[in-house]
Amino acid sequence: MPLFGNTFSPKKAPPRKSASLSNLHTLDRSTRETELGLEYGYPVLNIGGQSLKFEDGQWITEAGGTVSSKELQKLKKRNLQLEEENNLLKLKIELLFDMLTETTAESHLIKKEFEDVKNHYNRK
């Protein structure tokens, strides 16, 4: 008696029917776009009377917004000035920390030297 004598052999499945029973694929392109809405466009968001459009990964204000382009340029310029000022202040803080570290290290060295001199005179 063979160990694997009885092998499982299922019947073949009957051929499948067509995948889609819909007749929409027979419509011409313009009818399909009208029926199915294939022209999506960009997402638009209205907040506080200002309309924003999501385009190329960024939200862009559409015409009719409350901020004019002149004000926008002014705000961008002010933002750049504040960023530069912030970077300068960060640099100054870093410099002050370096100076504080140096002064603290010198202070510890002077204190250690003073203790060494004091111990030397106390031994005599």
| Domain edge (last residue) among 41, 66, 91 | 66
Task: Collapse the DSSP code of 113 into the 3-class scheme (helix H, G, I; strand E, B; otherwise coil) and give the result.
Answer: helix
**What's the one-letter identity of residue 2?**
P
Q: Are 41 and 54 in contact (CB under 8 A)?
A: no
Quote the CA–CA distance of 59 and 4 in Å, as a whole number.
67
Q: How far is CA 41 from CA 14, 38, 54, 77, in A?
A: 44, 9, 10, 32
- Whether residues 57 and 76 fall in one domain: no
Do the domain assignments include residue 5?
no
The reported pTM is 0.43
Q: If you search the block for the tokens 């459009």, which residue do you land on?
A: 53
| Domain edge (last residue) among 66, 83, 114 | 66
| Domain with 92 in it | 68-124
- Whether residues 93 and 55 fall in one domain: no
- Whether residues 81 and 112 fall in one domain: yes
**pLDDT, tens digit (0-9, with 9 covering 90-100), for 69-120:** 788 889 999 999 999 999 999 999 999 999 999 999 999 999 999 999 999 8
**pLDDT, tens digit (0-9, with 9 covering 90-100), for 7-49:** 777 788 888 776 666 666 677 777 767 766 656 677 888 887 7
Higher pLDDT, 56 or 90: 90
| Domain edge (last residue) among 48, 66, 84 | 66
Q: How many domains are there within the chain?
A: 2
Quote the CA–CA distance of 96 and 90 in Å, as a whole number.
10
